A = this chain, B = another copy of it.
């Protein structure tokens, strides 16, 4: 049976065939549109947890237009700025939220469909930089080295809804995604730099407009957090920073009752993906593949060892980041193979 048409059409037609629409309470209908402006947000959050005050209450299926701030909260404005002087750990990667979803309880799953991401503010809106003791090819606070840190370098970047104007020589396509997305953990309050089984700072380029992310609910109301828009990002986010920018992010949020997942999942038009976050990187990959196998077994009638061996032939691995306190990996399979 085809689900009822949504009140507001899907900008990405495939979503009408998504798991989100098939199984959610609100069918992603966008019966109501909420705004979460900077002003309404007030204080942004640097941890995701059950201890902060809600900023918004929505019903399953509602649409939310969120004004996110860039990962540096606008502190880096000129190429002569020194990140070490302007950034103050752990007050990085500001998050909107918590958004309360009516009826969400531990054991449910929240679905987040990203409709669109539109840049905010004046150009140069984009920021990339090299931060001391942060990034994939440098010693860090965890991979502790005695080498001198890399230099601090700041890039301010013009961007619009078509392009990211990296340099005179290089223009990249605007290919936005949300770096950080999660519901609250049950009792932990986790800084917004760290991904784990709640989601968080996964930095997966696939999590852009047209994707649906599934997040485990672990506390009443789910307590959704969102932030960290990237205008584009390579696999691994190797220097530690994408093209960070402030954005208007339009999402639909829905609730799938009694679908209990242990780690975040993602769906696009042509694939389903499980996401793991851990160190070392092989553990993130193991988690992602194991979750994908479990998903294929429980919902697509694959036999366990068949799924394991089949993914050895057609599994897709995406590296989110290998620069955060935990690294994120997505393991995916094309939908047409699922049959």
Of the candidate stretches A5-13, A117-125, A139-147, A264-272, the one touching chain B is A139-147
Which B residues touch A233, using CB under 8 A? 312-313
Report the Cα distance A31→B312, complex, angstroms.
38
Collect the chain B residues with CB atoms within 8 Å of residue A304's CB: 146
Q: Which interface residue of A235, A287, A293 has the most chain B CB atoms within 10 A? A: A235
Q: A285–B136 contact, CB under 8 A?
A: yes
A231-268 CB mask vs B (1 if < 8 Å, else 0) is 01111111111110000000000000000001000000
A282 on the B face (CB < 8 A)? yes
Interface stretch among A22-30, A55-63, A182-190?
A182-190
Number of copies: 4
Q: How far is the CA of A315 from the CA of B240 in the complex (A)?
A: 12
Also in contact, A144 and B148, with CB within 8 A (given A130-B308, A235-B317)? no
Q: A146-B150, A322-B285 are in contact. Are A311 and B234 (CB under 8 A)?
A: yes
Does chain B have a CB within 8 A of A278?
yes
Which of A32-40, A166-174, A221-229 sits within the interface? A166-174
Number of interface residues of A (CB under 8 A): 86
Q: Which residues of B contact A289 (CB under 8 A)?
A: 136-137, 144, 236, 238
CB of A51 within 8 A of chain B?
yes
Q: For residue A135, give the distance in angstroms from its CB to the closest CB of chain B.
A: 8
* Residues 299 to 314 of chain A near chain B (Cβ within 8 Å): 304-306, 308-314
Alpha-carbon distance A313/B327, docked complex (angstroms): 17
**Within 8 Å CB of A237, what residues of B?**
312
Interface membership of A319, Cβ < 8 A: yes
A279–B276 touching, CB < 8 Å: no
Residue of A191, A236, A327 with highest tally of chain B CB at under 10 A: A236
A76 beta carbon closer than 8 Å to chain B: no
Q: Residues on A close to B: CB < 8 A?
A: 46-47, 49, 51, 90-91, 128-130, 135-139, 141-151, 153, 155, 164, 166-167, 169-170, 172, 186-191, 197, 232-243, 262, 276, 278-283, 285-287, 289-291, 293, 304-306, 308-317, 319, 322, 327, 331, 337, 339
Known: A51-B189, A136-B286, A278-B279. 10 other contacts (CB 8 A): A46-B187, A47-B189, A137-B144, A144-B276, A144-B287, A147-B148, A188-B188, A188-B190, A234-B313, A238-B308
- 18 A–B contact pairs at CB < 8 A? A47-B188, A128-B312, A136-B282, A136-B286, A137-B144, A141-B197, A142-B287, A144-B283, A146-B150, A148-B148, A150-B305, A153-B309, A188-B191, A233-B312, A239-B308, A239-B311, A240-B312, A278-B279
